[in-house]
Structure 1
Amino acid sequence: MFRFLFNYKKSRPKLASEAFRKGDFETHKKLHSPEHIGNEPWHKTEQGKYIGQAVYGASDGIVTTFAAISGIAGASLNPKIAVIVGLANLFADGLSMAIGDYLSEKSEREYIRAEKERELWEVEKMPEAEKLEVKEIYKRKGLSGEKLDNLVDAITSNKEIWVDTMLHEELGLFEDDTNPLKSAIVTFLSFVIAGFMPLIAYVFASQGSFLAQNQFLLSCVITGMTLFFVGALRQIVTGVKWYKGGLEMLLVGGLSAAVAYMIGWLLEKVVRIPTL
């Protein structure tokens, strides 16, 4: 199942990286043939643009919700409080995270756009100075003589490439066509969907005595499975092996929940929180 999830539409560089790690020279060589390089889609697919937001949104959602539930369980409070606090936390934090993501993406796009306009103005108004800057950039990289001059001439012969080179090499900025609104929506939905997992046993507790009597235990089991699954999905973004990503996420989420549980337990003992 995981192999299916993590092998769909893999890019040529990703496949080459896997072949390199496995020592598969033939596959690595094949992926560097002219036909493979020429057919490489250099831009992210529409779906692939938002995988990072979905994975990290889901990670935050499930950890924060489960931590809140664990604190309530540790304090031996009424399970209904877990539903109220969990849902309130889920939607409030999800919305806050989505808004933050939107503003961050929007601000970054605006900043890059402003810097690109400035670089374009400088190229048009001070071409010789900008050409000298390009030359200095690649001179510092070790080029010199005729090779350096030819490269500078090639770059500065195309205004778009020239401006992009200044953005990348001088300012360290890279344009991204990700839509800030779509990014925010993906973040919110992934946060809410994954964050709801720890609440399932509580929300449906009235459907059976077993659910009602083992709400926190079932929540732990469901959350553990979801944590591992979401952590495994990080392989799409980070390239880490899926089982390592799953175990890391399970460990981090479990540690956060354990801390929250202990704090709730200690407060209940020290402050004597009334059982509601």
Structure 2
Amino acid sequence: MSFKKTRIQLAREAFKRRDLSLHQMAHDPKKIGQEPWHKTEAGRYIGSAVYGASDGIVTTFAVVAGVAGAQLDPKIVLIMGFANLFADGFSMAVGDYLSEKSEQDYIKSEREREAWEVDVNPEGEREEIREIYKRKGLKGEKLEQMVELITSDKELWIDTMMKEELGIMEDEGSSPLKSAIVTFLSFVIAGFMPLVAYVFASLVPFFSQNMFLSASLITAATLFVVGSLRQMVTGVNWLIGGLEMLLVGGLSATVAYGIGYLLRTVFNVVI
């Protein structure tokens, strides 16, 4: 099955390459008219998936590295790793849900307020529209035509006030619950990777003989892949994104390992 790029993906690629022919292809009138303007169902939650995965793998491997640095029993990695995995994953998902729900409630209340103001004081709101576009450089007849056009449609009027006066961009199709579920699943799935070597140590001889090394290699590969996928959200080069994530994860693991080693040395912990 061939992968068909969306119009916005073509436009982004054209910009990166400074390719005018690709730019013209992305701005074909037929494509503009046929393709939906809003985010797709999958695209809407890419950010939650990528950031959930990156947090999951970094925090879980920090636990693994800390336990390894303290030279504790490998079983403790499984206990602490899974406890951290599900507790932090649930906490992050709840936080994501509450954040998006609060934002949606705020947007809804502001839209209701703007609608009420249009109903009770249309002249005042019309003057605000006039001032908005006057500051953008319109004047005279063109300004009045723009004001008349926008205020002739109540929904367009409110949309304009939301965006231009309040700076609020609405995304009507987003679901806080779906976003939370995506965050939780991506956190748990990616966060499980540092534990693979410990979970399957009895089945894979290399894992049993080199648990922390195996966990480190698996984690490094996963960090790079997740970091590369960030380009779907940020537009950053996939190689740079992968290396950045690998560096951040490596630093976090180094700190955790060092603290574990230091605590064992200072307190002479023996388990």
The answer to whether structure 1 residue 175 and structure 2 residue 184 are counterparts is no
Deviation at 1:20, TM superposition (A): 2.4
Equivalent in the alignment of 1:251 = 247
- Shifted more, 31-40 versus 9-18: the winner is 9-18
C-alpha separation in 2, matches of 1:53 and 1:249:
16
Deviation at 1:9, TM superposition (A): 5.4
Counterparts in 2 of 1:46-195, with a 5 A limit? Answer: 46-176=41-171, 177-195=173-191
The answer to whether structure 1 residue 35 and structure 2 residue 30 are counterparts is yes
Q: How many residues are treated as equivalent by the alignment? A: 270
Deviation at 1:129, TM superposition (A): 0.2
Deviation at 1:211, TM superposition (A): 1.7
Query: Any unmatched runs of 5+ in structure 1?
Result: none
Deviation at 1:272, TM superposition (A): 1.2
C-alpha separation in 2, matches of 1:166 and 1:102:
27
Q: Secondary structure at the match of 2:15?
A: helix
User: TM-score normalized by structure 1?
Assistant: 0.94
CA deviations 1:177-217 (Å, max 9, x no partner) are 21111111010000000000000001111224432221000
What is the identity, as a one-letter code, of the residue corresponding to 2:46?
I
What is the identity, as a one-letter code, of the residue corresponding to 2:194?
P
Query: Any unmatched runs of 5+ in structure 2?
Result: none
Q: What value does the CA root-mean-square deviation take over the aligned residues?
A: 1.5
User: TM-score normalized by structure 2?
Assistant: 0.96
CA deviations 1:119-161 (Å, max 9, x no partner) are 0000011000000001111111121111111111111110001
Q: Secondary structure at the match of 2:202?
A: helix
CA deviations 1:198-250 (Å, max 9, x no partner) are 00001111224432221000000000010011111111111111111111111
What is the identity, as a one-letter code, of the residue corresponding to 2:93?
A
Deviation at 1:30, TM superposition (A): 2.7
- Shifted more, 129-138 versus 30-39: the winner is 30-39
Counterparts in 2 of 1:236-275, with a 5 A limit? Answer: 236-274=232-270
- Structure 1 segments, 4+ long, off by >6 Å, are none
Equivalent in the alignment of 1:207 = 203
Q: Secondary structure at the match of 1:205?
A: coil
Identity of aligned residues (%): 65
Label 1:257 to 1:8 Cα distance change in 2 as closer, same or farther (>3 A). Answer: farther
What is the identity, as a one-letter code, of the residue corresponding to 2:254?
A
What is the identity, as a one-letter code, of the residue corresponding to 2:36?
P
Label 1:198 to 1:234 Cα distance change in 2 as closer, same or farther (>3 A). Answer: same
